[in-house]
């Protein structure tokens, strides 16, 4: 790859990261919290991603992009979509019925910690400094979710759902560059959203949400939040995220995790009148420091790996 093409790809990665961060900051918890006020969480999440997937697939087809993929690519895209969207986003939507959006965002910020854990399980070498960062981050999560800790303000069932959501999203992120998916990141994203959306709708049917639908109770605020999430949460933010997973390091992609929670807590307090307690302040500080440490250490290690072969060649 030439220097100019590498620079162009790197510039595109940073632009996509900025776009993903800005879009996610505006949707993290706030719009989702508005939506679940009157919309069934699993059903609205499934319909949201199904609509976004169809819109993206239709747009690609109009541009002449070939949507045909192999069975292996379909399986890989479906697996990633089910882990990140059905398992990750679906559980978050359920949890935010009882957990404040700011606290939810802080717990979700632990995703990079679990990616390191998955690397360890896969047999990859992980330095002691990264392991220390993981342990520090877990302390921060414990401060937020352990009943009776500091103020004991977090619903334990909702916290358990969020814990499962972070594990599922982190596994999807970890597997994304390791399984066969469509080479075109946008095509892959469309199939991921369709797969995740279908699974969520099936889950909504299974738990009785669809049978209990009462459209007359849907508030205008929830419907506006739903439309906002389709456009900015799915078509913009998630598409940018999946593109980054194919074109940038996981460390770079994970930087959103320690930017967005702080924004979500502040917006939750200003817009949704959610309290900022000592528990949230302490837990937020610990998680943000731990995730930032892990991401920057991983970036430093990768830079060292790139420099080493160059130095050997010079000798």
pLDDT digits (tens, 9 = 90+) for 205-218: 998 988 888 888 78
Instruction: Determine the pLDDT at residue 17.
Output: 42
Q: Confidence class of residue 174 from pLDDT cuts 50, 70 and 90?
A: very high
Dump pLDDT digits (tens) for 24-55: 444 444 445 554 556 788 998 899 999 999 99
User: Mean pLDDT over residues 157-183, rounded?
Assistant: 92
Residue 2 lies in a domain: no
Instruction: Determine the pLDDT at residue 304.
Output: 65
- CA gap 173, 170 in Å, rounded: 5
Q: How many domains does the chain have?
A: 1
Domain extent for 92: 13-314
pLDDT of 9 over the 50 cut: no
pLDDT of 60 over the 80 cut: yes
DSSP track, the chain: --HHHHHHHHHHHHHHHHHHHHHHHHHTTHHHHHHTTTS-HHHHHHHHHHHHHHHHHHHHHHTT------HHHHHHHHHHHIIIIIIIIHHHHHHTTTS-HHHHHHHHTTHHHHHHHHHHHTT----HHHHHHHHHHHHHHHHHHSTTSTT--S-HHHHHHHHHHHHHHHHHHHHTTTS---SSHHHHHHHHHHHHHHHHHHHHHHTTTTTT--GGG--HHHHHHHHHIIIIIIIIIIHHHHHHHHHS-HHHHTTHHHHHHHHHHHHHHHHS-----HHHHHHHHHHHHHHHHHHHHHHHHHHHHHHHHHHHHH-
Give percent of the chain with pLDDT exceeding 90.
Answer: 28
Residue 52 lies in a domain: yes
- CA gap 275, 156 in Å, rounded: 18
Q: What is the pTM of this model?
A: 0.76
Residue 5 lies in a domain: no
Instruction: Determine the pLDDT at residue 250.
Output: 65
What's the chain's average pLDDT?
78
- CA gap 307, 311 in Å, rounded: 6
Q: 92: closest CA among 116, 75, 65, 110?
A: 110
Residue 6 lies in a domain: no
Q: 241-274: b or e for each residue (b if 16 or more CB lie within 10 Å)?
A: bbbbbbebebbbbbbbbbbbbbbbbebbbeeeeb
CA angle 108, 235, 116 (to 5 degrees): 30
Residue 242 lies in a domain: yes
- CA gap 162, 45 in Å, rounded: 15
Residue 3 lies in a domain: no
Instruction: Determine the pLDDT at residue 219.
Output: 80
Instruction: Determine the pLDDT at residue 194.
Output: 98
Residue 1 lies in a domain: no
Residue 4 lies in a domain: no
- CA gap 302, 307 in Å, rounded: 9
């Amino acid at each position: 790859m030439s220097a100019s093409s590498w620079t162009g790809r790197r510039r595109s990665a940073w632009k996509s990261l900025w776009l993903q961060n800005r879009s996610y900051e505006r949707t993290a918890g706030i719009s989702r919290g508005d939506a679940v006020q009157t919309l069934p969480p699993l059903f609205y999440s499934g319909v949201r991603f199904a609509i976004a997937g169809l819109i993206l697939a239709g747009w690609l087809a109009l541009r002449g992009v070939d949507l045909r993929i192999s069975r292996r690519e379909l399986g890989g895209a479906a697996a990633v979509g089910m882990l990140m969207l059905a398992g990750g986003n679906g559980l978050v939507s359920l949890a935010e019925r009882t957990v404040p959006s700011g606290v939810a965002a802080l717990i979700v910020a632990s995703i990079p910690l679990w990616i390191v854990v998955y690397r360890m399980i896969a047999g990859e070498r992980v330095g002691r400094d990264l392991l220390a960062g993981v342990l520090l981050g877990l302390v921060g999560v414990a401060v937020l979710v352990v009943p009776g800790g500091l103020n004991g303000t977090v619903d334990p069932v909702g916290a358990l759902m969020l814990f499962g959501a972070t594990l599922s999203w982190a596994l999807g992120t970890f597997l994304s560059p390791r399984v066969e998916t469509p080479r075109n990141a946008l095509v892959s994203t469309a199939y991921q959203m369709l797969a995740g959306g279908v699974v969520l709708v099936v889950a909504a049917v299974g738990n009785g949400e669809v049978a209990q639908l009462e459209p007359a109770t849907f508030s205008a605020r929830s419907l506006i939040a739903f439309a906002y999430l389709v456009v900015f949460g799915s078509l913009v933010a998630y598409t940018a995220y999946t593109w980054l997973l194919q074109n940038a390091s996981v460390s770079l992609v994970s930087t959103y995790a320690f930017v967005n929670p702080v924004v979500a807590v502040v917006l939750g307090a200003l817009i949704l009148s959610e309290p900022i307690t000592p528990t949230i302040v302490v837990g937020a500080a610990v998680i943000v420091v731990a995730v930032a440490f892990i991401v920057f250490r991983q970036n430093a290690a990768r830079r060292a790996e790139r420099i080493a072969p160059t130095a050997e060649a010079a000798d």
